[in-house]
């Protein structure tokens, strides 16, 4: 049975971990486990990613992406489809990208024990932010008993 839209969307609020699907050069999907923040008001997902990784290169070449999550029991699942928007790579501990990464960390994990260390690590790791605006949700409701 297909799930109502609000049930599908609620699965994304129930977890912060999902599988990001990008497209390889040959068109096959590449899946990466990620931690995300979902903003239901803006219908956007935000993810901290690293420059130089395959998923980042895939999104630069073809920005079509999907995010998959499943319910804890495995019977219900939800998919969000959208287009990737990539921030600039972090270059300075106080640039706009690092500020966005700080906000993302707070939304997902809360306060960091050492924000200066975090900011330096974001630059050293060549981090950036993936923002996906949801174009479509779909999924399946699990058994209802």
Q: Where are the domains of the chain?
A: 5-90+127-140
> pLDDT tens digit string along 21-69?
999 999 999 999 999 999 999 999 999 999 999 999 999 999 999 999 9
Q: Hey, what are 145's tokens? A: 């008993």
Residues 9/40, Cβ–Cβ less than 8 Å: yes
Query: Among 2.30.110.10, 3.40.190.80, 3.40.50.720, 3.30.70.20, what is the CATH number of 5-90+127-140?
Result: 2.30.110.10
Please tell me which residue, 74 or 96, carries the higher pLDDT value: 96
Spatial contact of 50 and 87, defined as CB atoms under 8 Å apart: no
Q: Is the per-residue pLDDT at 143 higher than 70?
A: no
CB 46 within 8 A of CB 82: no
């Amino acid at each position: 049975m297909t799930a109502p839209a609000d049930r599908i969307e609620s699965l994304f609020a129930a977890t912060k971990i999902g599988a990001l699907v990008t497209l390889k050069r040959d068109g096959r999907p590449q899946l990466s486990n990620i931690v995300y923040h979902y903003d239901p008001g803006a219908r956007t997902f935000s993810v901290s990613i690293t420059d130089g990784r395959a998923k980042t290169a895939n999104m630069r070449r073809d920005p079509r992406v999907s995010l998959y999550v499943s319910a804890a029991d495995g019977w219900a699942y939800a998919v969000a489809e959208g287009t990737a928007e990539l921030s600039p790579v972090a270059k300075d501990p106080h640039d706009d990208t690092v500020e966005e990464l700080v906000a993302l960390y707070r939304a997902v994990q809360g306060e960091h024990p050492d924000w200066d260390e975090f900011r330096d690590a974001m630059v050293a790791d060549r981090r950036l932010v993936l923002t996906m605006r949801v174009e479509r949700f779909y999924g399946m409701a699990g058994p209802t008993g």
